[in-house]
Structures are given as C-alpha cells and as structure tokens.
Amino acid sequence: MENTKIDRRVRKTKALLLKGLTQLMEEKDVNHISVRELTDLVDLNRGTFYLHYRDIFDMVNQVEDELFQQFDELFHENASGDDSTTTLTVLTNVFTFLANNEKTVRAFMGPHGDLTFINRLKELVKTRVRHSWEDRGMAPDKFEYFFAYTAAGCIGLMEAWLRGGFQESAEEIASLADVLLLNGIHPLLK
C-alpha cells in the first residue's frame, strides 16, 4: 500500500514537472530553461526536482526515453507478421499516439523543441520500416531513398498538423498520409 502512495506521488510530481517544462519550451529553447525557473513555475522545491533528475537535459532525455519506449511498443503491437496490418492502421496508431501526447509533442517538435527528438523518431521508425521492407522482399539498395522521401513527408505532415493545432483528427491525418505515401499527390489534385 505504501509503494502505491509513493508511486502515485512520484507520478504526480513528474507530471507536474513535465507540464511546466512543456510550458517553458513553448516560450524558449530547452538550453535556456533553468531548474529554478521550472520549479518556481510549478511551485516545487528544487530538491524535489533533483530527486528525479540530474538537470533539465536529464529530464528531457528521460521524457524522450519514456515516449520512445511507448512509441516502440506501439510499433511492436502492429508488427503482427502478416499483411493484415495495413499502412493506414499503423499511421492511425502513430497519429493517435501523437495526439494523445499533444502537449509534449508540441513542445519537443515545436520551434523551441529538441532536434534530437525528431532524429530519434526518424531512427526508430527507420528501423521498424526496414524490417517490414526486407520482410516483403523489396530492393534493399532502394531503402535509403524510400525512407528519406517518406520520412521527410511524414515529419512535415506532423509539423504542419502541430502548427495547425491538431485540428484534424488523428484518423483524418493518417488517411491523408496513407494516400500521399501510397499514391502521391495525384488523387488530391482532383
């Protein structure tokens, strides 16, 4: 019973710190955010911050690690090994994940965000897509071109969706991404 209370308090403290961090990242680059500024904003003692993180960069890394673990699990769930998992299903799950983590994604992918976040996102997706590419017998020498093209498009779509305030549903954006990836822009020109 005592562990549950501690875990709950730790989760609440970390959530409060994350809320403050994302708020500050909307205003300034992460390397200009101090522990004092963050803890003052969320009305916590700096000592409480240091119970969980070494510094702001450690916090950013831990938040990213947790997000990427969840994101990787999402891809793992979709790797059923058969063709029943469509591109649209995977894209819908990815965009739903982003929408469910909107404030964090907005902070990390926004103008004051962490470029490392986008690069890590691309590398994670690249690893997963490469496995699918190879499993389907596609030409291995063309993978880098395929991935560079699709990653740039999907990241751009995510950024535009973010700038637009996530107005469209995850399903709508996933459907648009699916059409663009599989058919190019031709169907949208009609």
pLDDT in tens, 31-75: 999 999 999 999 999 999 999 999 999 999 999 999 989 888 887
pLDDT in tens, 86-130: 778 888 888 999 999 989 988 988 888 877 888 888 888 888 778
Kindly report the three-state secondary structure assignment for every residue of the chain: CHHHHHHHHHHHHHHHHHHHHHHHHCCCCHHHCCHHHHHHHHCCCHHHHHHHCCCHHHHHHHHHHHHHHHHHHHHHHHCCCCCCCCHHHHHHHHHHHHHHCHHHHHHHHCCCCCHHHHHHHHHHHHHHHHHHHHHCCCCHHHHHHHHHHHHHHHHHHHHHHHHCCCCCCHHHHHHHHHHHHHHCCHHHHC
pLDDT average, residue stretch 131-160? 84
- Look at residue 131 and tell me whether its pLDDT is greater than 80: no
> What are the φ/ψ torsions at residue 55 (nearest 5 degrees)?
-165, -175
pLDDT score for 25: 94
pTM: 0.79
pLDDT score for 126: 84
